[in-house]
Structure 1
Amino acid sequence: MVPNNASGSSPSGGTPETGRVLTAAEHAEYERLRRAAKTRHRWAKQVGASVLLLLALLLAPAAVVAAWVDDEVSDTDRYVQTVAPLAADPAVQEALIDRLTDRVVDNVGVEAVTDALAKALADAGAPPRVVQGAEALDGPLRSAVRSVADRVIRRVVTSDTFEQAWEGANRRAHAAVVNMLTGEREGALRAEGDAVQLNLGAVVDEVRQRLVDAGFDKASAIPDTDRTITLFETEKLGKAQDAMRLLDIMGTWLPVLTVLLAALAVWTAPAHRVMLLIAAVGVGVMMVVLLVALAVVRRVYLDAVPPSALPPDAAAVIFDTFVRFLRDSTRTLLVVAVITALAAYLFGPGRAARGVRTLAQRGTTATGRGLHRVGVHTGSTGRWLDAHRSWITGVVIGAGAVALVLWNHPTVGAVALVLGLVLVVLAVVAVLAAAAGPEPAATAAGEPGRRAP
């Protein structure tokens, strides 16, 4: 049999399958078919990678929104962290003060007071001018009541006590709703079948203890039964709980699925670096689209809220506060996408990329040699670092990516911190590798341990 060469055919034109000598035409056809099969395989991989990437890009905005909604709905701490700033915002405080002041003035019933005063004066035989004067007190009395109510309410709303009460009330309410929707047995509000029940156990215990402390010893005999009150029953409670479970699944697994699709697209593509660059640019574009969509929704929301219901500045603050974590997450992903695209480009063959790599190498090499000249020698360790530079670079970048994944709600600042640490570690590795110095000279023949001159 004729031995095969590197191209898969024999020098005489034979095939590796049969060893039969082919004519020039047959050999040319064989090579054409082999190249066509390779092209079709590459094309199929490219199409598959493109489909995977398209799915990942379409799911990216939905995954970000689903994760944000799941956090706000199912995580009480995250929800309280979201709404807490509203209690200290001046625009929201003014809206709340005005609303509470109006409610107080309406409940006081100034007009009824002046009417009663006028009637009493008339019944007592007071002159008509006095009676009319009492009726005219409606305006000044209303203004006085509003002034007093505004002053008292403003003192309460702008105090630290109000912020603490605001956070506590939101925490208790959110936790109660979450317990009801998830079917948890803890907390005051819970679900039992299709019924929503309020557990008064803690209240009963507190009342019983206070009665005993006040001298009513027989209050200790109050039974522990019937400690729950059914607030309402609805057939839609089960559907709400199912929706909660679906939201939890989507918020957890939709981002994971999106990342897996993008990773598979990069891994499947014939040119991994190019596909990584395209994927990063695509994710960045989708995050920009999401930011634009948030701006449009904000404008629609503000136009839909009448000023009589909520002042525009307060409405804007409320919207921005509720979506700020979604906006922050979107901006963070945009920054990560830009950094990833830039890194993929810098590892490529472009002239600018080669220039940046050359400049960085010259800088680290000069620094390492300077350290070596002043007596800092890394020796075999530095040479090992230099020999395994590619693997070390991959490990450091991978560690940075893992750190961001494990970071609880990373921000743009967190991304900048991790990026800075990665660059510092890579620079230190390059400097240590350059400080190793030249290889030891070969020993002279026949004289072990003696270095050649």
Structure 2
Amino acid sequence: MKPASAAGPPDPGGPADPHYVVTAEERAEYERLRRHAAVRHRRTRLAGSSALLLAALLLAPAAVVAAWIQDTVSDTDRYVETVAPLASDPAVQEAVVNRLTDRVVENVDVGAVTDSLAGALQDAGAPPRAVEGAESLEVPLRDAVRAAVDRTVSRVIAGDEFRQVWEEANRRSHAAVVTMLTGAGTGAVRAEGGTVELQLGEVVDRVREQLVDAGFEKAAALPDTDRTVTLFQAEELGRAQDAMRVLDVLGTWLPVLTVVLAALAVWTAPAHRVMLTVTATGTGVMMAVLLVALAVVRRVYLDSVPPTALPPDAAAAVYDTFVRFLRDSTRTLLVVSVITALVAYLYGPGRPARAVRTAARRGTAAAGPVLRRAGVRTGSTGRLLADHQAWTTGGAFAAGALVLLLWNHPTVGAVALVVGVVLAVLAVLALLAAAAPRAPGEAGP
């Protein structure tokens, strides 16, 4: 029988000893190092996600404003939709009526009319009192002229024709400005270097046709040159076009960058649900700050507009009309943020969240037997829904988020509609799962 050899140190190059037993001290040291590495990893992830979240929150208001400006400046239809309500606003209509009436009355020389009348009476040998009475008619006559002009202008401004002219004029002018700023050169106004030119090609063709139809056959030989008229030299036109290009980039990619940063913040965080709650809450706070900023800018704008240029109520109507889509977008994001934070909280371990989930489970569990007694059988579909409730719930939320993402300019009402539909779908799915047949002794969902 061979004696047992003494255990020597393990061979560094050889295989590990399968019978090696870890001592309690070694195990404790291993656990300590493992916890230290986990803490360092967790702190690194938390620091990175916090930096991403801070960048996303700081960019959120700028992204909303950039998208709104780019949408309003570059899209003629959106711009016309923005300014169209001004034609029907009573304060704006009153300001336009007063401005036009003043211009018309200024061009009517009422004093010359009364002087001519007084001279005619004097030449005809009328009594001095009649001549003096004719001269004193200037003020009543001016008031009468103003009243007549005011009625006529008010009738025109309040009619549908003014709204149509207003929209068409804004459409043409905005399209011309966009063409000039983008340098596309396809509209009536085109920028060539630092010169803004008006294209008269269609006008020249129309004039040539009408002259030929009128019998001026020589007009057919009108040259095609000199079909532009220089409107003005714009030394800052290049900078304006550069700003337009930057605005196109910011308005398109800044919102995308903000969303990506927020998503990365949630993904890299150690606790995804908590970070989602924090991100949604922070976004809601930033949207509230943006609404406050819009109110402050409104006050500053109204204080800067002199009443002689625009009455205060008309100036307020102009500002509110121009920024209403920005305000609507901000409110929509605020509501979406609140809903997202609430949903993330309800999935957490808090006592109110657990109470809500328990009440929902009890309600659907109690409805299951009632539905089965009523003859409602969902079969394998109900079993599938009951076994995969987490997937169906997530799918319903994802579908609602996708609808809002694809919705063109969603409002608070659109968000409320989508949320109501999602809740209704979740309730129906829960009832279908509760009505599924149960094995003997199996509890409800």
How high is the TM-score relative to the length of structure 2?
0.90
TM-superposed CA distance for 1:123, in Å, is 7.3
Alpha-carbon deviations, 1:135-179, whole Å to 9, x = none?
322211211210111011011100000000000000010011101
Whole-angstrom distance in 2 between the partners of 1:371 and 1:219: 87
Q: Shift in Å at residue 225 of structure 1?
A: 2.7
Match of 2:253 in 1: 253
Once the two structures are aligned, what percentage of the paired residues are identical?
71
Contact persistence 1:60–1:286 (CA under 8 A): yes
The residue aligned with 2:42 is 42
126-135 or 291-300, which deviates more: 126-135
Alpha-carbon shift at residue 245 of structure 1 (Å): 0.8
Cα displacement (A) at 1:365: 3.0
Number of aligned pairs? Answer: 426
Deviation readout 1:345-375 (Å, 9 max, x if unpaired): 1111111111111222222333343222222
Instruction: Give how far 1:207 is off.
Output: 2.4
Shift of 1:222: 3.0
* CA distance in structure 2 between the aligned counterparts of 1:369 and 1:212, rounded to whole angstroms: 89
Moved over 4 A (4+): 17-23, 115-131
Which range moved further: 290-299 or 335-344?
290-299
1:329 alignment counterpart:
329
CA offsets per residue over residues 202-238 of structure 1, 9 Å max, x none?
2222223333444444434433332211212223212
Q: Which moved more, 1:150-159 or 1:132-141?
A: 132-141
Deviation at residue 117 of structure 1 after TM alignment:
4.8
Moved more, 426-435 or 331-340: 426-435
1:265 equivalenced with 2:240 (yes/no): no
Deviation, structure 1 residue 23: 4.7
Q: Residue 231 of structure 1 aligns to a residue in which SS?
A: strand
5 Å-filtered alignment, 1:41-440, equals 41-115=41-115, 117-118=117-118, 129-439=129-439
Q: Provide the alpha-carbon RMSD of the alignment.
A: 2.3
Unaligned stretches of 5+ residues in structure 1: 1-16, 442-453
Rounded to whole Å, the distance in 1 between the matches of 2:355 and 2:176 is: 60
Q: In 2 relative to 1, CA 18–140 (structure 1 residues): closer, same or farther, beyond 3 Å? A: farther
Tell me, what secondary structure is at the counterpart of 2:309? coil
SS in 2 for 1:310: coil
CA–CA distance in structure 2, aligned partners of residues 206 and 349 of structure 1: 76
Whole-Å Cα distance in 2 between the matches of residues 222 and 151 of structure 1?
A: 46
Find the aligned partners of 1:293 and 1:123 in 2 and give their Cα distance: 70
Residues 212, 371 of structure 1: CA spacing in aligned structure 2 closer, same or farther, 3 A cutoff? farther
Tell me the distance in 2 between the aligned counterparts of 1:222 and 1:127. 65
Deviates more, 1:196-205 or 1:212-221: 212-221
Give ranges in structure 2 of 5+ residues lacking alignment.
Answer: 1-15
Alignment partner, residue 13 of structure 2: none
Distance 1:284 1:278 in 2: 10
1:365/1:430 contact within 8 Å kept: no
Q: Return the alpha-carbon distance in structure 2 between the equivalents of residues 109 and 282 of structure 1.
A: 64
Whole-Å separation in 1 of the counterparts to 2:368 and 2:163: 56
Q: 1:281 to 1:417 in 2, by over 3 A?
A: same
**Partners of 1:46 and 1:270 within 8 A in 2:** yes
Distance 1:370 1:212, change over 3 A: farther
Cα distance in 2 for partners of 1:137, 1:218 equals: 56
Q: Distance in 2 between matches of 1:75 and 1:18?
A: 75
Conservation of the 8 A alpha-carbon contact between 1:101 and 1:150: yes
Contact 1:87/1:163 (8 A) holds in 2: yes
Q: Which string of whole-angstrom CA distances, capped at 9 and with x for unpartnered residues, describes residues 10-69 of structure 1? A: xxxxxxx99865554443233222211111110111111111111111111111111111
